[in-house]
Amino acid sequence: MADPDLSDIKRRMDGAIDAFRKELAGLRTGRASSSLLEPVSVEAYGSRMHLKEVGTVSVPEPRLITVQVWDRGMVKAVEKAIRDSGLGLNPQTEGQTIRVPIPDLSQERRQELAKVAHKYAEQARVAVRNVRRDGMDMLKKMEKASELSQDEQKVWADKVQGLTDQHIKLVDEALAQKEKEIMQV
């Protein structure tokens, strides 16, 4: 009898964790991070382009992000895209360099960001649980098709649950770390 392949389940759970970490990286914590501007897209050359495709994003100071725009004609479009991004940032242009100071966060805004982080975490947990459900369904089908005995199905189900528990723990740890970072004054 063939053993079920859990590598696909693990890969999908890892994917859910990676997506969650990317979402968390985009949350502004009052400390400058180049990943803060990753979701910003610019109207450039007749199409929408990511900010990193029209300039170099760097973090020279803890409370400052700079964008060195490669094409002088794109400076105004980049500045407008940052301002309109909904991140609450106010860019200042100096030639082809755009300076984006990161303002201090109010306690109220910190709590809002923590709620958003919790929402992202719950979405990641749901994604991991959906993968677990798919894995359990696969095991039940294999048992019905007489590819696994009941005992083997139970052993494999415990392994799938163990993977799920591991990944949920990773979500909780990443959330706790981000929440600590957000609430740090």
Stronger pLDDT, 129 or 109, i.e. the higher one: 129
At 118-168, the pLDDT tens digits run 988 999 999 999 999 999 999 999 999 988 899 999 999 999 999 999 999
- Among 70, 101, 132, the domain boundary falls at 101
3-state secondary structure 72-107: HHHHHHHHHHHHCCCCCCCCEEECCEEEEECCCCCH
44 part of a folded domain: yes
Residue 1 lies in a domain: no
Of 48, 69, 101, which residue sits at a domain end? 101
Position 49 scores a pLDDT of 87
CATH of the domain at 95: 3.30.1360.40
Q: Which amino acid is at 107?
A: Q
Q: Among 80, 101, 122, identify where a domain stops.
A: 101
Residues 6+ apart with CB under 8 A from 159: 6
Task: Please write the tens of the pLDDT for every residue from 22-77.
Answer: 888 877 666 777 777 877 888 888 888 888 888 999 988 888 899 999 988 888 99
Q: Tell me the pTM.
A: 0.68
